Structure 1
Amino acid sequence: MDDYLQVNRANWNARVPIHVSSAFYDVDGFKAGRSRLREFEVEEVGEVAGRRLVHLQCHFGLDTLSWARLGAEVTGLDFSDPAVEQARKIAGECGIPARFVTADVYDAPEALGETYDIVYTGIGALVWLPDLTRWAETVAALLKPGGFLYVAEFHPFADILDSETGTTVTYDYFHRGPHIWEVPYTYTGAEPLEHRTTMEFRHGLGEIVSAVAAAGLRVEFLHEHDHTLFRRFATLVEDGGVYRSPGEAPGFPLMFSLRASADGAPPPAADPATPSPAPTE
């Protein structure tokens, strides 16, 4: 458990050159003007022009810079030095003003030294964090009064299904981890990774929402989506650039999005009359 940060950083450092050169990320397409943001994200976040936005766990910054192209004043934070170096390089080549900082997400308030109108956490980020209570408190510390958190993520329900068909429950929804994986390739293609081990943490939807609320943020919406961004299961079909269950099959949640605002009030105090949950093995 204590090694998760070092293990995962080595893995993500190894992914950077593979991802930058991959068709999946299409850096050349981004430089030509293509946005990396999903349509529902832009709609749900709303107008960002003139607002200060920080992207936590930003990788090499294409989503961050896409928000800048919409007018936001952006900062990206990631724990990988090679990723941050690439983000700065791409920003410079595109002439996009942006700030990128290397730090662990839990150290963000000290590393950044400022607050924001919007804290954005993109897809595939929460699985790398062991403590969502601490994460939500970090988010709250980064937000100005009246600002908001926006999360777009893969739905945790899909994580428990078999990887081939997505029809059989294979993993325990309530087993938080760490889950240790040895995977020779990243999701962008067949080029082998130098560092293959990851330590990941499964978080249920209730845990995510409860952590956000306990940090004093007011949940504005939680939307569940019946599509995802790649063919996660062989049974999914492409539909307008996203993937969902075929028409005759029952739908199930594949992604979710959440928005929660900072009203300037302190987090609610615990109710002393409410017993603490019993410890679990």
Structure 2
Amino acid sequence: MSQLNPNDKEYEEYKKEPSDYLEANKKMWNSLTEAHKNSNFYNVSQFKKDRNSLNAIEINEVGDVEGKSLLHLQCHFGMDTLSWANMGAEVTGMDMSDASIELAGELSKEIETPAKFVVSDVYSLRDNLQGEFDVVFTSYGAIGWLPDLNKWAEIVASYIKEGGFFYMVEFHPVIYMYEWGNNFALQYSYFNESSIVEEVEQSYTGDRHKQKQVSYSWNHSISEIINSLLAQGLQLEFFNEYEYSVYNCFPNLKEIEKGKFRFKPPYDKLPHTFSLKVRKPFSKKKISGRIEV
């Protein structure tokens, strides 16, 4: 993966209006779906046996989902979505990649796990999906594809039932400041200053695209993430940071124990992952059998 220099003529060729980055990223994720469905990283055949692709962090922090409705934002091809369904949730997964959603539907039928899947980008989701959910969920590598977190948080909040919650677990924004393929050079801003335009030849799984793809992504600070959610009236229940990744998806990681990967020194000192949970409060409180407005 290499960043395009804004001063290069090649950059101008890929420079897009705000509405056009979606098409470029959709094309890339359709290509990634093709690369990922047979990859060792995702190991779909093992998932069909285990019926679970979730990690201990999110399982423990989300808690019991039996009988709850759950919306999974940016679900890729739905293995985590189906995992929540196998734990008793009534699930809906959405993704902008039509190839991903098609594969998710095929997996749902093959393992006989009911699920609803919707093709949509996050910002257009209200045009494609109605309703509210007990749990709204997103994870690992999702929000970096979104330029506007205030708009994202508004969409998130609109889908949470009163008393329900939004949970996210993500790679820590600090590690996105580094150019991993360039000897870990400190290259990108911690803050959302501008889009990062890159030419992509290979997936984070190690699998290659059939042809080069161009991607558009954005870095988001912790304060930007949390404040966008709090601005919607959601209440923060916890924020956690972890010194490891649950996936071996970056260069120079080593497994410190089963399912936990850490950068080699001196980058082992960086935070690798974070999680948070925010809840939508009830608009009315029931006290001593009476409703207090």
Task: Assess if the C-alpha contact under 8 Å between 2:243 and 2:272 holds in 1.
Answer: yes
SS in 2 for 1:183: strand
What TM-score does the superposition give when structure 2 sets the normalisation length? Answer: 0.85
Q: Which runs of 5+ in 2 are unaligned?
A: 1-17, 285-293
| Pick aligned residue for 1:221 from 231, 238, 244 | 238
Structure 1 residue 107: Cα displacement: 2.1
Task: Assess if the C-alpha contact under 8 Å between 1:237 and 1:246 holds in 2.
Answer: no
CA spacing shift, 1:161–1:97, aligned 2, 3 Å: same
Mapped partners of 1:166, 1:152: distance in 2: 27
Please tell me the residue identity of whatever aligns with 1:178. S
Structure 1 residue 111: Cα displacement: 1.5
Aligned positions of 1:48-67 closer than 5 A? 48-67=65-84
Mapped partners of 2:224, 2:169: distance in 1: 15
Deviations 1:67-102 (A, max 9, x none): 001100000011111111110110000000100011
Give 1:239's aligned residue: 257
Which moves more between the two structures, 165-174 or 190-199?
165-174
Please tell me the residue identity of whatever aligns with 2:125. A
Q: Which runs of 5+ in 1 are unaligned?
A: 267-281
Please tell me the residue identity of whatever aligns with 2:112. G
Aligned positions of 1:42-53 closer than 5 A? 42-53=59-70
- Aligned residues: percent identity? 38
Which moves more between the two structures, 106-115 or 151-160?
106-115
Aligned positions of 1:199-210 closer than 5 A? 199-210=216-227
SS in 2 for 1:100: strand
Mapped partners of 1:249, 1:176: distance in 2: 24
Aligned length: 266
Structure 1 residue 249: Cα displacement: 7.5
Mapped partners of 2:236, 2:223: distance in 1: 12
Which moves more between the two structures, 217-226 or 236-245?
236-245
Give 1:251's aligned residue: 269
Give 2:23's aligned residue: 6
SS in 1 for 2:208: coil
Moved over 6 A (4+): none
Structure 1 residue 248: Cα displacement: 8.8
Structure 1 residue 191: Cα displacement: 2.8
Mapped partners of 1:38, 1:73: distance in 2: 19
Deviations 1:11-32 (A, max 9, x none): 1111112111111111111111
Q: Are 2:189 and 1:172 aligned?
A: yes
What TM-score does the superposition give when structure 1 sets the normalisation length? Answer: 0.88
Please tell me the residue identity of whatever aligns with 2:155. T
